[in-house]
Structure 1
Amino acid sequence: MRRVIAAVGVVAAVVAVGPHVAHAETPSGWEPAPATPPYDWAAGTRCDFPTHSQPLRDEVLQRVLDAYPDGKPKLVAYKGPLDIRVTNTANGKSTDVDAGGSALVGYRPDGSQMWYAYGPVMTGWRDDGGNMPRGLYRLDGIYTLDVAADGAKTLTLVHGTAEPLCPLIE
């Protein structure tokens, strides 16, 4: 537990580095992260009904802190605003999700990842995909997310919430 709290403290320190500037400027050492794509999920893969997610605002920045010898990122810090609209495509009902948390993400050679996060992030679980029931969630607080190479996820909440989004749009 202490290790998780210390790692999240590092996330807070890393994302606080540099002066706060207007969104039009990029702080030194930070660059725009790859854009968050829209996603479509068939009924039963995340929610009981088909869903679509669409970024409304994506101003996430990244800072590569360490890389493998081949240049692929090994440790990356992320921060910045990200708002996503999640829509039930069967009935048109939607909800807007603040997913603009901060994270320190370790990318492992086997394709798995370890997230040390603070603040809101949106993610989903499949039926056989880890330690949460199938669904879409807004995670918020202080937590880790261990993502296996096959996409299965293990969430460890230090302090925070995992808000199910499917019930908001059914």
Structure 2
Amino acid sequence: MVAAAVVVASLSTSAPAVAGGTGHGGWVPAPQEGFEQPAGARCDFAVRVQPVVDEVRKLVLAEYPDGSPRRELYTGKLIDEVTNLDSGAVTRVDASGTSLVEYAPDGSMTWYVTGPVLLGFRENAGSLPRGIWIVDGVYVVEFDPTYVHKTITMVHGSTHDVCTDVD
């Protein structure tokens, strides 16, 4: 989910924030940042996603020789509030999944996830249509090096477009 990054970073176009040089010093907080998307980017309307409960933490499991992360584990409670900025409609979603995140040398990353995470998809940029999706179950999410294109391989689970909840 990124967990940390898992949940919210996947909605944005930037990569998850990574604390360089943390080594294997134990679990550290991995706070999620809220963000807004204009109408048409994820939903037909402008939308804001804001964490209201954020207990996400990460553990660095392996690093590359330069100290950048190679493998991290993310877990913790994350409840996001999704707001339609045009109508004011609001819903809360549980994005408290657990993810093992592997970072490849080419800049791509793969999440091995159990539980719910919130993922944003642009038009024609992945295995789900444009939207803000709660993906729940056991699955793998592969991100290209730009983090724009995402492919989900479900082992078992479900998907739900949160845009429909606040439309």
Deviation by residue 1:60-81 (Cα, 9 ceiling, x = unmatched): 1111000000000000001110
Q: How does 1:23-34 map to 2 (within 5 A)?
A: 29-33=26-30
Q: In the alignment, which residue of structure 2 is the partner of 1:56?
A: 52
1:147 has 2:143 as partner:
yes
Q: 1:168 matched to which residue of 2?
A: 165
In the other structure, the counterpart of 1:104 is 100
Relative contact order, higher structure (CA 8 A, sep 6+): 2
Instruction: Please list every run of at least 4 consecutive aligned residues from structure 1 whose deviation after the TM superposition is greater than 3 angstroms.
Output: none
Partner SS state of residue 131, structure 1: coil
Alignment partner of 2:128: what SS? coil
Code of the residue aligned with 2:84 in structure 1: it is N
Partner of residue 115, structure 1: 111
Letter in 2 for 1:65: L
Counterpart in the other structure of 1:40: 36
For structure 2, list consecutive stretches of 5 or more residues without a partner in the other structure. 1-24
Partner of 2:127: 131
TM-score of the aligned structures, taking structure 1 as reference length: 0.81
Q: What is the root-mean-square deviation in Å for CA atoms of aligned residues?
A: 1.0
Structure of greater Rg? 1
Q: Percent identity?
A: 44
Deviation per CA, 1:66-120, whole angstroms, max 9, x where unpaired?
A: 0000000000001110110000000000110100110000011222110000001
CA distance in 2, matches of 1:41, 1:112: 23
TM-score, length basis structure 2: 0.83
Distance, in Å, in 2 between the alignment partners of 1:47 and 1:111 is 27
